[in-house]
Structure 1
């Protein structure tokens, strides 16, 4: 899954945590709302509680979990901790004040550690006996205790001046930055600090020693990796003597063109580090920074054994014999197939366990037998559960029209997981593999938004296989409004997915939410066009170098199918909407839709691909997707086609109202892209609006901004499609 541009499943658990200082003024609790009718509204969507992290106690008797509450009035969020029995009974909120409490993990069966005010704390099962364990001046950004509880990893940020020079001591108030290399900003911030993991000694009462050891001492590299990495990128060995961690040991230009991260094994006692992905004498082949790495030496078949792609998220087997991690094969390709690699710590042998599964492994956990791994994978537009043994024999465990989320073992026999869909926000479930009566039993143990959901009319979801213009079969979701009447005609939206390689699976988003779109009286057509995972690698890779080719034909095939075969679709009231690559798709379709659509909405989309090439911060993305820098005279035919078909070159054909949305802190696709599209539309005399957020990134995270986004979105659609 292309996590960096995804707007679906990756956005599910993302929470807009307000700072500690911001939340001290008010204790935001679970929101209640009484609706006038059964229609989902933006206010109802933002009143919903959002499940974050969760963890079962060592004995499997209790579960601690994190909840995010949002106040539109205060424009803030509050992260709180809850406790419940493993069967979902006796749920109790543990957080009582306005401070955020996050990242809970168990110290023993009676004690939970968590972060509060930038320090590690502990408390008992019922939330009492609270005690601060660390003294870091509020610098704790993540933590993980060793299995024997004698040590703890604590994440802290350290100054970083490799690409932005340190400010002169006599100019402390200057806002200027002197930049010396690439990757000077990432996602939504300037890179003037990076995270490092420190190992601290833990006392018998779980208090943390005052001094720790930086396991990357003297190295100018981040761990976890920007922009989304967390504690899942580090793991303790079962004997508490070693730490496996994820790191891309590059800076500047080399960082900006490469996705090559590795798994390192750090010996806590010896303070020695070994790269498990590459031999000690490995020398990276020279890389041309303005060309795709597809055919460069770093990705030559003989070099793939050195694992030059993304390797991350290590987990030790329960018996300590193996270390698993997720691995992409090739450098420079952030959406390559995510495989499951297993490393034998005794022999040094690496085995890929999911080669028979032609799609991504999105999360996984070891079974207690240390010979089975459960994982979540996307296939045919759903994220279901699978298992594999150490011989790579894959079995599908569930087949729900839904998406499962993060996995962990609840006890020796059961799995704890989150599940959601287009019509159901995230809740926690217990999965019992090989249940004697039902094969795999699924039991829901939370209903965190029941009070709101019970008031709402529920949309329905249909699945169709649509013939594409080249004769392929494309899975397409159609979401119908509540109280659907098949005799009526409905305004209809074509949903254009981001990525370009993230799935149109059964995601629940708090912005691109199909439930609220359908509740507002729209039919949604959501195709799994060329380039999306879950339909094999050939289908996935068909979009790279062909952004305006077959994938655009796929969009139009889906909406034409809906108009021709679904009598309730009103072909005279069609809109096209999307974000990121979906926004790019909208900008392109605006010049190539042959009068199909009556309005467009593009959020954070690329408009001018030549400008995008040097504006984006992670240059490996443009290199892989476009093949070449736009100034190269020896461009490949794919590169020439990409630049020649950039949406900005077809503004002369625009004839349809368009709403452009962008965040000014979006450093992946700069806000100038959205501004340029809006300016071009208005200069052409086309009805257009620009919704610009100076304080938002590629997403919209603040409550009042989120409400404004939803209101503007539906006001624009209603204006043009409900006349």
Structure 2
């Protein structure tokens, strides 16, 4: 029987369609990114390689919208084979500050487990297995533990109250303060608060203890002349002050950096110098004698060189490059050897792989952070094998191994091994979920601004992008200003989630940004808002001209922190945008100077104190430009204002003044106040609500 030709053709077509359907079913359909995609990506911490280079330990957070359901544990991955990473701890409280013993058999870390009122030191036997053991039970907790070179002792940071000498003293003072009837705070030095915390009078100290349960910690600095100085202290963090401290190679002393002029922060830059103190305690010896700042101390494998990052703290300047420096050990000449003196870039992080006599490091440039190296003498600068996109956000060495975390805007963080050829991915916590999202790598472009500077930009396209269509443009402004837009996966202001409803997102590194040299970052001095804002406007013009799919009649702008400052300035000085988003943005330079937790840099940037005759304080305060309607500018653009009530970096009074001004001028405006958030929106449901409000505001005025 002969089958008619048309029937054969229909059969073939039907078979092809069936095969295509089967193939399509085999490939997961990609979807536009959701808030759940952003928030529920696992968060991979900085890996710590073992001294023998065989293992890496790192934290992994399983996020949840309800913080009570969130887990964070330590994982371990072999660096010698391809066996998958495995979970090392099973504790809901989470662990941090991991440090290996010199024999690569044990770990110490900080955790706050059942019965702990503060983070304590725990030790776990990686080689032999078993449960982690608590080593400290200090009233005020412990931070950043480090094994001694022989593995027999542990160095760590903790606090005491003024006048305390022993742990019994600390315990007694803590009880007295808990029982006292009044709630007032008293201050005699600046700042009284930091980000979302009112500061107290606890004093930071270095402790050493035997690496055994029941051992008694020894306070190395109490009673010393250094600790008695009114300006003594370390860098301020969420858990208190930190002292960057390491063991000297012989194990007989501790080398650390600390400030002696913290009490001058309202009128001077606080700089940190390098000191050493015997492991038995006593007076500390100052090893450097300048007004630079030193941090991130590390010894070479042979113990003959002390490496550090240093900033010059140049008087009258708002930004200093972070340079790689070294000292011959023991330090005889207090002047550092600057290894990257000819490199006009700020070193972000560095590592010292054994046997190479080279320092491996990274720095920011044009949206990327890649790997480079230099020899111990400061010569033979090289580019090392890096991924072509994205950013390295941690870097550590153990033995010859170098490991870190790499990520990009479309590749959430994973652990990678670097060196010995192309970077190698070691984990896959987020790869499957990321593969289901319809997103594209950022597109980079440069243009020459009217002030002669070359300006770098990244462009983010929405899901289901069609170049034949027209899309509104949302110019998103980074904070800082000493910061840079990076090709990375972010929780706050996630590029693709902002673009998701159908917007093209523009990310511009205006003058004042990092990654383009010291002069570029310093160009903001005396011009805190106008110049950067002009470059953002020019970037928008360039994008509209360059990309036919951008609808130049539908423009919006917004940002957070310094990005919020610029958003407020744009609203006051141009009417080109249909909508503005301002989170944690200053409204008045003088008010921000007097109410924030950081004032000296603002004074340097504006050329003098607020009571002087510097016009910047008045001419570049957004609120003072808002009524310029006769000039065709002033506040008219609809604005969404948001702020965390616990924000002490850009206090809520800025947002309140902003909203009051908008309402006074009958400008369409909305104020969002998050009572339990600080400078950033960090809680899952608050974040979801924030994005929905941003999307709603843009849709109202752009679509």
Q: Under TM normalisation by the shorter chain, which class is it?
A: 0.7 to 0.9
1:542 shift after superposition: 0.6
Residue 416 in structure 1 maps to residue 403 in structure 2: yes
Cα distance in 1, alignment partners of residues 201 and 71 from structure 2: 26
Q: 1:144 aligns with which of 143, 146, 150?
A: 146
Contact 1:466–1:561 (Cα < 8 Å) also in 2 = yes
- Equivalent positions of 1:663-674 (< 5 A) are 663-674=644-655
Q: Match of 2:301?
A: 318
1:444-467 CA-partner distances (Å, limit 9, x unpaired) = 111211232122112232111112
Provide the secondary structure at the position in 2 that maps to 1:71. Answer: coil
Residue 606 in structure 1 maps to residue 592 in structure 2: no
Q: Match of 2:235?
A: 225
Contact 1:260–1:331 (Cα < 8 Å) also in 2 = no
Q: Match of 1:153?
A: 155
- Equivalent positions of 1:433-444 (< 5 A) are 435=420, 440-444=421-425
Q: Match of 2:391?
A: 403
Q: Which moved more, 1:151-160 or 1:603-612?
A: 151-160
Q: 1:82 aligns with which of 55, 61, 75?
A: 75
1:614-654 CA-partner distances (Å, limit 9, x unpaired) = 1122222212211211112xx3xxx3134322101122211
1:46-100 CA-partner distances (Å, limit 9, x unpaired) = 1111112321122222211101222213566432111221245232222324332
Q: 1:468 aligns with which of 431, 436, 449?
A: 449
Cα distance in 1, alignment partners of residues 48 and 348 from structure 2: 18
- If the length of structure 1 is used for normalisation, what is the TM-score? 0.84
Cα distance in 2, alignment partners of residues 659 and 88 from structure 1: 49
- Equivalent positions of 1:221-620 (< 5 A) are 224-227=234-237, 233-254=244-265, 257-269=268-280, 271-278=282-289, 306=290, 308-331=291-314, 335-346=319-330, 347-348=332-333, 349-369=335-355, 371-393=357-379, 394-398=381-385, 400-412=388-400, 414-432=401-419, 435=420, 440-593=421-574, 595-620=575-600
- Would you say how many aligned residue pairs link Structure 1 and Structure 2? 643
Q: Match of 2:621?
A: 646
Residues 226 and 334 of structure 1: is their aligned pair in 2 closer, same or farther, counting only changes over 3 Å? farther
Q: Match of 2:16?
A: none
1:138 shift after superposition: 6.7
Q: 2:204 aligns with which of 193, 196, 210?
A: 196
- Equivalent positions of 1:1-12 (< 5 A) are none
Provide the secondary structure at the position in 2 that maps to 1:358. Answer: coil
Cα distance in 1, alignment partners of residues 374 and 339 from structure 2: 7
Q: Flag the structure with more relative contact order, 1 or 2, with Cα contacts below 8 A and sequence separation at least 6.
A: 1
1:697 shift after superposition: 1.6
Residue 115 in structure 1 maps to residue 110 in structure 2: yes
Residues 167 and 715 of structure 1: is their aligned pair in 2 closer, same or farther, counting only changes over 3 Å? farther
Residues 313 and 611 of structure 1: is their aligned pair in 2 closer, same or farther, counting only changes over 3 Å? same
Contact 1:497–1:578 (Cα < 8 Å) also in 2 = yes
- If the length of structure 2 is used for normalisation, what is the TM-score? 0.86
Q: Which moved more, 1:233-242 or 1:129-138?
A: 129-138
Residues 36 and 48 of structure 1: is their aligned pair in 2 closer, same or farther, counting only changes over 3 Å? same
Contact 2:461–2:496 (Cα < 8 Å) also in 1 = no
Contact 1:225–1:246 (Cα < 8 Å) also in 2 = no
1:331 shift after superposition: 5.0
- Equivalent positions of 1:20-99 (< 5 A) are 38-74=31-67, 77-86=70-79, 87=81, 89-99=83-93
1:492 shift after superposition: 1.2
Q: Which moved more, 1:490-499 or 1:449-458?
A: 449-458
Larger radius of gyration: 2
Cα distance in 2, alignment partners of residues 230 and 366 from structure 1: 26
Contact 1:182–1:253 (Cα < 8 Å) also in 2 = yes
Provide the secondary structure at the position in 2 that maps to 1:105. Answer: strand
Provide the secondary structure at the position in 1 that maps to 2:693. Answer: helix
Instruction: Identify unmatched segments of 5+ residues in structure 1.
Output: 1-34, 279-305
Contact 1:599–1:657 (Cα < 8 Å) also in 2 = yes
1:357-407 CA-partner distances (Å, limit 9, x unpaired) = 101011111232473211111123321111112332222224532211221
Contact 2:95–2:109 (Cα < 8 Å) also in 1 = yes
1:520-567 CA-partner distances (Å, limit 9, x unpaired) = 322111111111122222211111111233322210110001111211
Contact 1:583–1:606 (Cα < 8 Å) also in 2 = yes
